[in-house]
Amino acid sequence: MADAFAAYDAGGISDAAAVERTLAGEREAYRVLVERHSAYVYRVAYRMTGNSHDAEEVVQEAFLRAYQKLQQFAGNANFGTWVYRIAANYAIDRLRQKKNEDARREVPSRAAEGESESDPLEKLKDTAPSPERLAGNAQLAKKMQDALDTLTPAERTAIVMRHWDGCAIEEIAAVLKSNSSAAKNTVFRAVQKLRLALRPFAEGRGAARAVGTES
């Protein structure tokens, strides 16, 4: 089958053929995969990290790791899906590491100011701007970006994978290294937090019922 592609330039070969050639020692064949899938991986990484600098690092690391693990690829549906998962795994590790570093830096200053640990949900309530400030899509997008920043790495990864990329709960559970039930709860928790963050905007449009209440 490999001969069938002999007449094609490197950019024209399929992912499967590019993987085969890379495994056969043709290093340049990997370039095809990198060039073909980088933009998609970047979009995923950006949504997970929230900034271009970190997203670019995730993309590079994902392709480096994919190359190192290429022998394990075993035809995982397609290369795009596979490298996506590697990127998601790296992004969540990176988010967790960053969160821990931030927490270590914040603890002394918080103690000095006499602040207590607060639930992120409470934090969202406190910092929620007035509905007037949220008019228009740009402000809504900014508000959503801020809200996404308050999610835990697992929550952020879960909502990105579920909503934007349409991943199955089982796929999310695999990245989060948890079970389906826990992954489902993580997505729900993320939606709940985001919703709370957007509540002033929604209430401005007539929503009255409080989040999670029953009557």
Partner 1 sequence: MKHTTEEELFAYREGEMKGRQAIAAHLRECGECRAELERIDEVFQALDAMPVPDPGEEYGAKVWRQIRNRLPKHAPKRGANGWSAWFAPRRLVAVGIAAALLILAFYAGRKTGPSRGGEEIADAGKIRERVLVVAVGEHLGKSEMILMELSNAQPGDAGKKLINISTAQKRAEDLVEENRLYRQTALEGGDNAIASTLDELQRVLLDVANSPTELTPAQFESIQKRIAAQGILLKVRVVRQELRAEAAGNKSAPAQSDSTPKARNKV
d(CA 7, CA 19) in angstroms, rounded, equals 17
Shortest distance (Å) from residue 101 CB to partner 1: 24
Burial bucket for residue 3 (CB in 10 Å: 0-12, 13-18, 19+) = exposed
With contact defined as beta carbons under 8 Å apart, do 46 and 55 qualify?
A: yes
Q: Residue 153 or residue 189: which is nearer to partner 1 going by CB? A: 189
Between 110 and 125, whose beta carbon lies closer to partner 1? Answer: 125
CB of 162 to partner 1, least distance (A): 8
**From 38, 150, 152, 178, residue interacting with partner 1 (rule: CB under 8 A):** 38
Supply the minimum distance, in Å, between the C-beta of residue 38 and partner 1: 4
* Subset of 153-182 contacting partner 1 (CB under 8 A): 159, 162-166
* Residue 51: other Cβ atoms inside 10 A: 11
Please select the residue that binds partner 1; options are 102, 133, 140, 177, rule is CB under 8 A. 140
212 part of the interface to partner 1, by CB under 8 A: yes
Of 58-97, which residues contact partner 1 (CB under 8 A)?
59-60, 63-64, 67-72, 74-78, 80
Which of 144, 159, 39, 138 has the alpha carbon at shortest distance from 95? 159
Residue 152, φ and ψ in degrees, nearest 5? -70, 160
Q: Which lies closer to partner 1 via its Cβ, residue 103 or residue 204?
A: 204
Residue 53 engages partner 1 in binding (rule: CB under 8 A): no
Nearest residue (CB) to partner 1, 110 versus 184: 184
Told to check if 194 binds partner 1 by CB under 8 A, we report yes
Nearer to partner 1, 108 or 166 (CB): 166
Is residue 192 a contact residue for partner 1 (CB under 8 A)?
Answer: yes
Q: Per rule CB under 8 A, is residue 130 in the interface with partner 1?
A: no
